[in-house]
Amino acid sequence: MSIAIIDPGKDVSDWVAALHAHDSALKVEVWPEIAEPEKVEFALCWNHPEGVLPQFPNLKCISSLGAGINHLLNDPSRPPQVPLVRLVDNALKQSMAEYVMAGVLEHFRRFKDYRQLQSRTQWKELPIPDISTLGVGIMGCGEIGRYVAQKLFNFGFSVCGWSRTRKGREKFPVYVGNGELETFLSRTDFLVCLLPLTPETENILNRMRFDQLPAGAYLINVGRGSHLVEADLLSALDCGQLSGALLDVFRQEPLPEQHPFWGHSKIAMTPHIASVTNPDSAAEQIVANYHRALSGEPLLNLVDVECGY
């Protein structure tokens, strides 16, 4: 019985150590150095190569090494009968909240404008709106989105969320489905995408949706690159409908050197680091799922493959 970590090109020694810290008896192997593939019952994957999972005929569970699972759903060779789980982790949520809060505050408090004034040795006060009048709309009010929304709400922003199904558990309004998307967008000065990538959400950040935001809105995309229609972002920035964008995820990663986003004065970018999984924090749930998979108990953070997240 063993766990295989399949994360090509990465040093995963911190994952091995973190798993052993929770169960020193675990046998953890790192692909491609798998001595006995038929003994692998649990696979931990990030950007695994297509075709690798069928090498393990006795898998009982496949776990993503992050919150996203597109790399697994997109693999046609993934054995469909093996349940998929993903990571839901407090450290991941907190790290995302820090990133989004920083992005919103940086734009709201006009630090970029002040840097430009500084470069011209200009002492000048710039107006800012009252925080309570600023709408921050979180697309995808799931595990991470809800946490981020709550932090921004507590800080004083006028927060709302958008999700697929109604739950009625939040202190702020949550709009639901395509029927309420336009209303959600109309009160959103900062649009934060924290959706999973599914056929329904692909290309959702498009010109029609940007035009439903208040003029001068700001976009933060921390979901996935394929949520965004890149040409539509450029046109919305050029005409002023959007005042700027902070992007952490891209259709092609790393972003090609000649991509127009690099040099755009209204685009700030980071290399998919908004929230990076911390092995010490996430290992406990992985070890728990490993034992649950072996004993046939219900798995934690099971993915609904039909819904795509």
Distance CA 166, CA 79 (A): 32
Residue 185 contacts ligand NDP per CB under 6 A: no
Residue 232 contacts ligand NDP per CB under 6 A: no
CB atoms within 10 A of CB 180: 15
What's the closest the beta carbon of residue 248 comes to ligand NDP, in angstroms?
5
Complex with ligand NDP: residue 131 or 181, whichever CB lies closer: 181
Q: Is 224 a catalytic residue?
A: yes
Query: Please, which of residues 88-107 interact with ligand NDP by CB under 6 A?
Result: 88, 92
In contact, 108 and 134? CB cutoff 8 Å: yes
Q: Sheet harboring 40-45: ordered strands across?
A: 28-30, 2-6, 40-45, 61-64, 84-85
Measured CA angle at 224 (ends 43, 214), to 5 deg: 155
Residue 137 contacts ligand NDP per CB under 6 A: no
Residue 145 contacts ligand NDP per CB under 6 A: yes
Please state the φ and ψ torsions of residue 148, each to the nearest 5 degrees.
-65, -45
Catalytic one of 86, 107, 224, 227: 224
In contact, 136 and 158? CB cutoff 8 Å: yes
Residue with the CB atom nearest ligand NDP in the bound state = 142
On the CB side of 119, CA atoms within 13 Å amount to 5
Complex with ligand NDP: residue 29 or 78, whichever CB lies closer: 78
Selected from 195, 213, 246, 287, the binder of ligand NDP by CB under 6 A is 195
Residue 192 contacts ligand NDP per CB under 6 A: no
Residues 29-68, mask of contacts with ligand NDP (x by CB under 6 A): -------------------------------------xxx
Tokens standing for residue 267:
């685009």
Selected from 40, 65, 141, 246, the binder of ligand NDP by CB under 6 A is 141
| Cβ-Cβ contacts under 8 Å for 230 (sequence gap 6 or more) | 251, 261
Residue 222 contacts ligand NDP per CB under 6 A: yes
Which parts of this chain interact with ligand NDP (CB under 6 A)?
A: 66-68, 88, 92, 140-145, 162-165, 194-198, 200-201, 222-224, 248-249, 272, 274-275, 309
